[in-house]
């Protein structure tokens, strides 16, 4: 009985181990932060990253953008070096031409969709997508070696500009992948993958690395793909890294706050506002309010907010000290409309300021009259988007309605002549009445 139980347990353990082995074998190796991976897997994952920013550190929607990639065998010259790694001698040696169809792309494109969302820090948060490549060992004819491939990101400058994405100066759209193929350990025969290295060759994407020109022997940096950070240290545990290599997506926030002043101002009434934007048409952004009636459906995605689209007008009712915030507006967005309607029968004096600067001088608004910003206001939450300076500045509209109290003393002075005349008339009538009585 005990033997049967033991055999059953042993069989179960063996089954679990076999499942584990088969699962591990089917997983893709992912490049580490230093651009290295030691793996026998025939699939490897590189990363494409976008660094996303928001002045308030809020949850934002991703830009809508697709990146496309091609992979080609690299034609190298004799003696072309690989990436030296003093801790891993197998990474030191010369490189061979890549073999046609030896490495292919499982997915030739990656998409960041504006239905996706995540928190973006003021200093930037990088989000990444996978580029998966496959190795076909049958193409290498049993020959061990280090084979080089060139991976190129197709130029899509127009699409990035349309999506509000900024690309840093000197961005390199080319990565190189060295595939290490070695002989299997005896008694097995044949070849297997030993590892991978991904790197940037030079700042000039068209300049080849070769083994004959000393100036072209140096590799700029190792990397996990088309991402923010690059490691310039030859050791995989090195920390000599630089940043600035990824695309940037800057987003900003704008608020509209309502103030009512004057002793006769109605601080309970919700004044109707119409708001609109222009820029990346159709790009979603979040809208939050404090105690306001907002004509937008619940977001259902970003917590405690509703969703609006750039280029689509929406309305909100704002009472005294209530506000509405537009969160996650991409760079180059314009606020094209901030319009308040006076829905009371009082005549208010309305004024509008942006970041403390007067945009609409005090203007009398009667029932159903509107107060509007006179021109579109560009949104900018950073000092300099082009140089990625991320010191945040404010972006806030303040709309003030003033209704001064009518003084009772003022009423007395205004109507005093009429009151005196009426009083005099009444006095004369009374006097005439008494005289008549005396005569009778």
Going residue by residue through the chain (440 aa), what tens digit of pLDDT does each one get? 444 443 443 344 334 333 333 333 346 898 887 788 889 999 999 999 999 999 889 999 999 999 999 999 998 877 676 776 656 655 566 789 999 999 999 999 999 999 999 999 988 899 999 999 999 999 999 999 999 999 999 999 999 999 999 888 888 899 999 999 999 987 778 999 999 989 887 645 555 555 544 445 556 788 899 998 888 776 666 666 677 789 999 999 999 999 999 999 999 999 999 999 999 999 999 999 876 778 887 776 676 688 999 999 999 999 999 999 999 999 889 999 999 999 999 999 999 999 889 999 999 999 999 999 999 988 876 655 445 455 555 689 999 999 987 665 544 444 555 555 666 666 666 666 655 555 55
- With a CB cutoff of 8 Å and minimum separation 6, the contacts of 28 are 41, 43, 44, 45, 132
For residue 135, the surrounding DSSP H or E stretch is: strand 125-135
Considering Cα of 10, then 11, then 13, then 17, what sign does the dihedral take? positive
358: which strand partners?
A: 353
Cα 374 from Cα 91, distance rounded (Å): 64
Q: 278 with 334: CB under 8 angstroms?
A: yes
Q: 156 with 65: CB under 8 angstroms?
A: yes
Using the structure block, give the residue that is written with the tokens 């994405």.
165
Q: 260 with 266: CB under 8 angstroms?
A: yes
257: which strand partners?
A: 323, 398
């Amino acid at each position: 009985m005990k033997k049967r139980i033991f055999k059953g347990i042993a069989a179960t353990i063996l089954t679990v181990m076999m499942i584990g082995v088969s699962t591990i074998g089917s997983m893709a190796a992912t490049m580490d932060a230093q651009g290295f991976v030691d793996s026998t897997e025939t699939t490897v994952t590189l990363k494409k990253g976008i660094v996303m920013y928001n002045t308030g550190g809020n949850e934002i929607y991703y830009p809508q953008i697709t990146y496309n990639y091609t992979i080609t065998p690299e034609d190298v010259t004799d003696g072309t070096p690989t990436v030296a790694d003093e801790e891993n001698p197998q990474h030191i040696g010369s490189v061979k031409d890549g073999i046609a169809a030896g490495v292919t792309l499982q997915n030739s494109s990656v998409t960041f969709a504006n239905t996706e969302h995540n928190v973006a820090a003021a200093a930037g948060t990088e989000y990444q997508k996978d580029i998966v490549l496959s190795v076909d060992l049958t193409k290498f004819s049993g020959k061990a070696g280090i084979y080089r491939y060139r991976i190129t990101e197709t130029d899509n400058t127009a699409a990035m500009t349309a999506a509000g994405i900024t690309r840093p100066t000197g961005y390199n759209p080319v990565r190189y992948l060295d595939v290490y193929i070695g002989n299997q350990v005896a008694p097995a025969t044949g070849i297997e993958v030993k590892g991978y290295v991904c790197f940037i060759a030079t700042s000039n994407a068209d300049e080849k690395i070769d083994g004959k020109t000393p100036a072209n022997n140096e590799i700029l940096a190792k990397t996990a793909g088309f991402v923010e950070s690059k490691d310039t240290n030859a050791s995989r545990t090195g920390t000599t890294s630089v940043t600035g290599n990824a695309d940037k997506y800057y987003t900003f926030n704008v608020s509209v706050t309502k103030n009512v002043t004057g002793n006769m101002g109605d601080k309970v009434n919700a004044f109707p506002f119409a708001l609109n934007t222009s820029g990346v048409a159709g790009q979603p952004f979040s809208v939050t309010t404090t105690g306001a009636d907002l004509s937008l459906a619940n977001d259902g995605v970003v917590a405690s907010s509703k969703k609006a689209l750039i280029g689509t007008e929406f309305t909100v009712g704002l009472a005294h000290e209530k506000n509405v915030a537009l969160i996650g507006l991409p760079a180059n967005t314009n606020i094209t409309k901030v319009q308040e309607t006076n829905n009371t029968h009082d005549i208010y004096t309305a004024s509008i300021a942006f970041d403390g600067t007067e945009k609409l001088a005090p203007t009398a608004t009667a029932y159903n009259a509107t107060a509007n910003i006179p021109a579109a206001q560009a949104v900018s939450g950073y000092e300099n988007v082009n140089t990625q300076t991320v010191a945040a500045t404010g972006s806030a509209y303040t709309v003030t309605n003033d209704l001064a109290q009518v003084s009772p003393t003022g009423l007395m002075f205004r109507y005093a002549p009429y009151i005196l005349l009426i009083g005099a008339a009444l006095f004369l009538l009374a006097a005439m009445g008494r005289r008549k009585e005396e005569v009778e």
